[in-house]
Amino acid sequence: MLKPHSSVFGFEGRRVLVIGDVMLDRFVAGTASRVSPEAPIPVLVIEEESAMPGGAANVACNIASLGGEVVLVGVIGADRAGEELKAILEKKGIFADLLEIKTRKTTQKIRYIAGQQQLLRADVEQSDAVNGQALEEIIKRHMQRAEAVVLSDYAKGVLSVELLSHVIAAARKAGKPVIVDPKSIDIGRYDGATVIRPITATRLPPPAYRALRMMRRKRRPRRSWARCRKPAR
């Protein structure tokens, strides 16, 4: 069994089941030397475009780069972006058992870059909940041979509370560690997981981040101006 606290190099030769929100990260790069006459925005002259796996697909790539044998389970749309993502994963040697939904769009994050400066990010996504029953059938096919399960949750509708409960329970019954990379601040969703990646303040949504800052301010002791003043001469 793969121990969750072992070295990252222990991934080599291990079979890891990655489940979560897959996406395509697209980069549109060029130069911007003038401002549009239509609006106060820069005009990007496109020189290069590239794409790479994102979200849970990026997690799968990282594990594969450490020598792990990865099975990736997620959802894509019946569109060009989905086909492109599958082709990239195949070239990287990752087995992707992806549920294709005709009424859904493949999640994309498109970044527009001029030199070293990112000008804009445009997202293509649907975050409504996915039918968990179809995903459960796919996961069941791969759970037995996996040595560990990684849940990569980007809050795009794949890892519903019901599916999380089902997967974590099945993995625990089979004696497999479950590692969670969460987007949600409601960590109760991942009850029963072996390891949960900490959510830092920079990863929190603005309302939660503001609430955290207020909590810290309340805990911080107030300064006594009487103590801080220099003694009168």
pLDDT by residue (tens digit) across 155-171? 999 999 999 999 999 99
Give me the helix-helix angle, 161-173 and 132-143, nearest 10°: 20
Rounded Cα distance between 171 and 40, Å, is: 53
Rounded distance between C-alpha atoms, residue 191 and residue 162, angstroms? 12
- Dump pLDDT digits (tens) for 103-123: 999 999 999 999 889 999 999
Q: Does some domain include residue 2?
A: no
Q: How far apart are CA 17 and CA 170, in angstroms?
A: 13
Higher pLDDT, 108 or 214: 108
State the sign of the Cα–Cα–Cα–Cα dihedral 27, 30, 36, 40: positive
Range(s) of the domain holding residue 72: 8-23+54-105+127-228
Q: How many CB atoms lie within 10 A of CB 225?
A: 7
CB atoms within 10 A of CB 187: 13
Query: In CATH, what number is assigned to the domain containing residue 167?
Result: 3.40.1190.20
Confidence of residue 230 (pLDDT cuts 50, 70, 90): very low
Q: How many domains in the chain?
A: 1
Q: Give domain status of residue 69, yes or no.
A: yes
Residue range 206-212: mean pLDDT, rounded: 48
The closest alpha carbon to 177, from 136, 145, 146, 132, belongs to 146
Any domain includes 119: no
Report if residue 73 sits inside a domain.
yes
Decide if 80 is inside a domain. yes
> For the residues 121-130, what does the mean pLDDT come to?
93
CB 16 within 8 A of CB 147: yes
- Is the CB of residue 23 less than 8 Å from the CB of residue 54? yes
Report which DSSP code applies to 35: B
pLDDT of residue 183: 81
Which of 33-47, 109-123, 157-171, 181-195 is predicted least confidently? 181-195
Indicate whether 59 belongs to any domain. yes
How much is the average pLDDT of 174-195?
90
Which residue from 193, 176, 194 is spatially nearest to 15, judged by alpha carbons? 176
CB atoms closer than 10 angstroms to residue 106: 26
| Residue 212: band (very low, low, confident or very high) from pLDDT cuts 50, 70, 90 | very low
DSSP summary character for residue 40: S
